[in-house]
């Protein structure tokens, strides 16, 4: 018999929720860092090195924003797959019951 892999629908749902929470936490943290750096640069720290640091951090936070969005997209794909598999399983179970009727 071939190797089989699987996951319970409940475990998949929990995984989706954890991914969504992690993505939201990442977005919130990035926003805090972005705000703190913006407040510091230009007020307490000025000059070309401050501007270069802020530009570098802006680029990094944009990358992190994209990654947070990718995590949400991945979680949504998992959710859609779970729903499709659950529907397919219900249909197959219904068909199997009809064979006995």
Is position 21 within any domain?
yes
Is position 94 within any domain?
no
Q: What is the mean pLDDT of residues 22-48?
A: 91
Query: What are phi and psi for residue 56, nearest 5 degrees?
Result: -65, -45
Is position 5 within any domain?
no
Residue 61 is predicted with a pLDDT of 95
Percent of the chain residues past pLDDT 70, beyond the cut? 96
Decide: helix, strand or coil at residue 90. helix
Range of the domain at 28: 15-89
Q: Is 54 buried (19+), middle (13-18) or exposed (0-12) by CB count in 10 A?
A: middle
Is position 50 within any domain?
yes
DSSP state for residue 100 in the 8-state scheme: T
Residue 101 is predicted with a pLDDT of 63
Q: What is the mean pLDDT of residues 51-56?
A: 92
* pLDDT for 42 beyond 80: no
């Amino acid at each position: 018999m071939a190797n089989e892999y699987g996951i319970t629908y409940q475990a998949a749902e929990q995984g989706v929720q954890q991914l969504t929470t992690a993505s939201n936490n990442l977005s919130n943290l990035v926003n805090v860092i972005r705000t703190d750096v913006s407040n510091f640069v230009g007020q307490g720290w000025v000059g070309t090195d401050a501007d270069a640091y802020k530009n570098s951090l802006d680029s990094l936070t944009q990358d992190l924003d994209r990654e947070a969005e990718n995590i949400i997209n991945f979680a949504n794909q998992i959710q859609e797959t779970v729903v499709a598999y659950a529907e397919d399983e219900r249909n197959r179970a219904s068909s199997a019951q009809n064979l006995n009727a």
